[in-house]
Copies of this chain bind each other. A is one copy, B any other.
Amino acid sequence: MTGDAVVIDGLQYSNWDREIFEQMRAGGLDAVHVTATYWENTRELLSNLGRWNRRFEAHPDLIRPVATADDIRSARREGRTGIIFGLQNCSPIEDDIDMVALLKRLNVHIMQLSYNNQSLICAGCYEDNDPGISRFGHQVIREMNRVGMIIDMSHSAEFSTLEAIRLSERPIVISHANPLFFREARRNKSEKVLRALAESGGLLGFSCYPFHLRDGSDCTLESFTEMIARTVDLMGIEHVGIGTDLCQKQPLSVLEWMRNGRWSKVKDYGEGSASNADWPRPLSWLRTTADFGNIATGLHDRGFSNEEVQRIMGMNWLHFFDQALQPEGA
């Protein structure tokens, strides 16, 4: 990217080390939304945030924390990558409404209301039945709106997602998923959801996780950018970004944690299967976060204008954060 255009990846969860942070710099990333927890509770989240503090201490030349959207602009000027904390489930607030404001103070800016399963707030995308938003959920949405914590419905079920969009007084995101028309998968989203998301001012981050892509690990960059073009026709150019869902250097045990947490005695394979239980093979055009710029190249090749490419590659996320990270009334 050139000029002041900020580049943002709307979701990564890697086995963080200096090499990965160097790859973020090589990929030109000014900010990354990183997953701090899947199933962890409050105390376990704090430990994970503590580990991030050690990383900020150890690699101050490469990464920095993000409290506001302007911190992302600062990161760009400093030649560092801003780290935006997010949660893939509401488990770190446990059953405690007061945790929302406390976690926001610790730079937790994004929270999914469920992760695959039923949560205390709403249904996940793998549940058979979907009650929408619970009594607790109504209060959590109100509180997240108040403090400026972004609602993310990437792993939630459809009715719950539509209800979250309806109930939230501020726009929400689906940080990492693709349209169902691109691949039938319980994690991908219907046109109904995508339209409602766009109409409410929300944002979709396109996922590069092979299980969310047509042809899986063999999905071409052309196919991916064609999906983006079709989704832009549906949602409008302002409402899309990237959320690669890159999980680098993670052992199988982490995938099993993501899929099984502590809730299952029977091994659950998520989007995989017993015969295909491992991490999917990486895409040829996105082996690591250093390849992030390939997506911009692909978008140019597909015929997007410079401004459109900049929007998709990060400026839509940045403008969303400008509003969404501020407390209500600020």
CB of A195, distance to nearest CB on chain B (Å): 23
Q: Does A132 contact B (CB under 8 A)?
A: yes
Give the residue name and chain of the B residue nearest to A43 (CB).
Answer: B43
Residue in A121, A123, A127, A129 with the greatest tally of chain B CB atoms within 10 Å: A129
Chain B residues whose C-beta falls within 8 Å of the C-beta of A98 in the assembled complex: 262, 265
Q: Does A292 contact B (CB under 8 A)?
A: no
Q: Does A181 contact B (CB under 8 A)?
A: no
Chain B residues whose C-beta falls within 8 Å of the C-beta of A119 in the assembled complex: 120
| Contact residues of A between 235 and 267, Cβ < 8 Å to B | 261-266
Contact partner of A134 (CB less than 8 A), chosen from B41, B118, B121, is B118
Give the residue name and chain of the B residue nearest to A121 (CB).
Answer: B118
Complex: A135 Cα to B186 Cα, angstroms: 15
CB of A120, distance to nearest CB on chain B (Å): 6
CB of A98, distance to nearest CB on chain B (Å): 7
Give the residue name and chain of the B residue nearest to A142 (CB).
Answer: B265
Give the residue name and chain of the B residue nearest to A262 (CB).
Answer: B96
The answer to whether B135 touches A117 (Cβ under 8 A) is yes
Q: How would residues 198 to 220 of chain A score, 1 for a CB under 8 Å from any chain B CB and 0 otherwise?
A: 00000000000000000000000
The answer to whether A97 touches B136 (Cβ under 8 A) is no
The answer to whether B118 touches A265 (Cβ under 8 A) is no
Complex: A262 Cα to B94 Cα, angstroms: 9
Contact partner of A263 (CB less than 8 A), chosen from B95, B126, B265, B266, is B95
| Contact residues of A between 76 and 133, Cβ < 8 Å to B | 91, 94-98, 117-121, 123, 126-127, 129-132
A97/B262 contact (C-beta < 8 A), A117-B120, A120-B117 known: yes
Chain B residues whose C-beta falls within 8 Å of the C-beta of A126 in the assembled complex: 135
Q: Does A39 contact B (CB under 8 A)?
A: yes
Q: How many residues of A contact B (CB 8 A)?
A: 32
Q: How would residues 26 to 46 of chain A score, 1 for a CB under 8 Å from any chain B CB and 0 otherwise?
A: 000000000000010100000
Q: Does A328 contact B (CB under 8 A)?
A: no
The answer to whether A95 touches B136 (Cβ under 8 A) is no
CB of A247, distance to nearest CB on chain B (Å): 21
Q: Does A139 contact B (CB under 8 A)?
A: yes
Complex: A119 Cα to B97 Cα, angstroms: 15
A131/B143 contact (C-beta < 8 A), A95-B261, A97-B265, A262-B98 known: no
A130/B127 contact (C-beta < 8 A), A96-B263, A97-B265, A120-B119 known: no
Residue in A97, A119, A135, A139 with the greatest tally of chain B CB atoms within 10 Å: A135
CB of A41, distance to nearest CB on chain B (Å): 7
Complex: A259 Cα to B94 Cα, angstroms: 17
Residue in A97, A126, A137 with the greatest tally of chain B CB atoms within 10 Å: A97
Q: How would residues 146 to 177 of chain A score, 1 for a CB under 8 Å from any chain B CB and 0 otherwise?
A: 00000000000000000000000000000000
List 9 A–B pairs whose Cβ atoms lie within 8 Å, in order of A's numbering: A94-B262, A95-B261, A96-B263, A97-B262, A98-B265, A118-B118, A118-B120, A135-B263, A139-B263
Other contacts beyond A136-B264, A139-B265: 4, CB < 8 A: A95-B263, A123-B131, A126-B135, A127-B135
Closest CB pairs A-B (n = 6): A129-B131, A118-B134, A96-B262, A131-B131, A136-B263, A95-B263
